[in-house]
Amino acid sequence: EVQLVQSGTEVKKPGESLKISCKGSGYSFTSSWIGWVRQMPGKGLEWMGIVYPGDSDSRYSPSFQGQVTISADKSINTAYLQWSSLKASDTAMYYCARVIAKAIDHFYMDVWGKGTTVIVSS
Amino acid sequence: FVLTQPHSVSESPGKTVTISCTRSSGSIASNYVQWYQQRPGSAPTIVIYEDNQRSSGVPDRFSGSIDSSSNSASLTISGLKTEDEADYYCQSSDSSNGVFGGGTKLTVV
């Protein structure tokens, strides 16, 4: 069974750094992209970016370029989403998902993690 | 480009509902469209991929289509059940990334 297990809830202060994780199992982790999606409280889904664990190639949506870093460690089948300086506006649920990429302009997410809640408050 | 969905739709059990997803620029047929269901308190799950392909385990009450004349995609759910009450999101791609629609809240009453 394909599974993505995300790290637990984080409560941080503005200005702090954070790295959340997403561990894949049940499939070839290095052969599929992993994506991250933000969902702010009461709002819709936002595509943040993707990483290919096989070679650590990463792509960012314009809104998130420079705001976060997406990475992966293929030795432990884990992808990461990190911030160097959190803001209150980063408070949200963050989902990782396996990305099926059939072409340079054809991506979709077929298996999702349960989400990581990030709360940033002073 | 932007994908625009109605904020909410409502229909009775047993009826049929259609949720639209309109692409702002470029052809809707240029990139495949997917649909995701998100029930309250849960992660999204994929319902339709590549315009009209049902994901594994999704009942055939769910169907997807695209209409080039209106530059939109549609998700149709027939024989509505109360368990279909959820938020639905369309998604497509541009170069190297995905784009979600704003989501539609389906109420089954």
Residues of A in contact with B48 (CB under 8 A): none
* pLDDT value of residue A68: 98
**Distance separating alpha carbons of residues B60 and A120, to the nearest angstrom:** 42
List B97's β-bridge partners, or say none: B94
Among A48, A93, A96, A53, smallest CA distance to A72 is for A53
Per the CB < 8 Å rule, is B103 touching A45? yes
d(CA B15, nearest CA chain A) in Å: 26
Residues facing A120 on adjacent strands: A12
3-state helix, strand, coil in chain A (%, to 5): 5, 55, 35
* pLDDT digit string, tens, across residues B10-26: 999 999 999 999 999 99
A61 touches chain B (CB under 8 A): yes
From the CB of residue A13, how many other CB atoms can be counted at a distance below 10 Å?
A: 10
A44 with B93: Cβ contact below 8 A: no
| pLDDT mean over B44-54 | 97
Is residue A104 scored above 90 in pLDDT? no
Nearest CB to B46 within list A44, A110, A115? A110
pLDDT at position A102: 84
Substitution target from B93, B94, B95, B99 for chain A, most A beta carbons within 10 A: B93
- Residues whose CB falls within 8 Å of the CB of residue A55, separated by 6 or more in sequence, listed in order: none
Mean pLDDT of chain A: 96
Which chain B residues contact residue A60 at CB under 8 A?
Answer: 97
Q: What is the mean pLDDT of residues A44-51?
A: 97
Measured between beta carbons, the chain B residues lying within 8 angstroms of A59 are 96-97
**Alpha-carbon gap, residue A96 to B29, rounded angstroms:** 27
> With contacts defined as CB-CB under 8 Å, which chain A residues touch B98?
35, 47, 61, 107-109
Interface of chain B against chain A, CB under 8 Å? 30-32, 34, 36, 38, 43-46, 49-50, 55, 87, 89, 91, 93-103
Instruction: Provide DSSP, B27-40.
Output: -GGGS--EEEEE-T
Cα–Cα distance, A44 to B106 (Å, whole number): 14
- B3 pLDDT exceeds 80? yes
The pLDDT score that the predictor gives to residue B109 is: 92
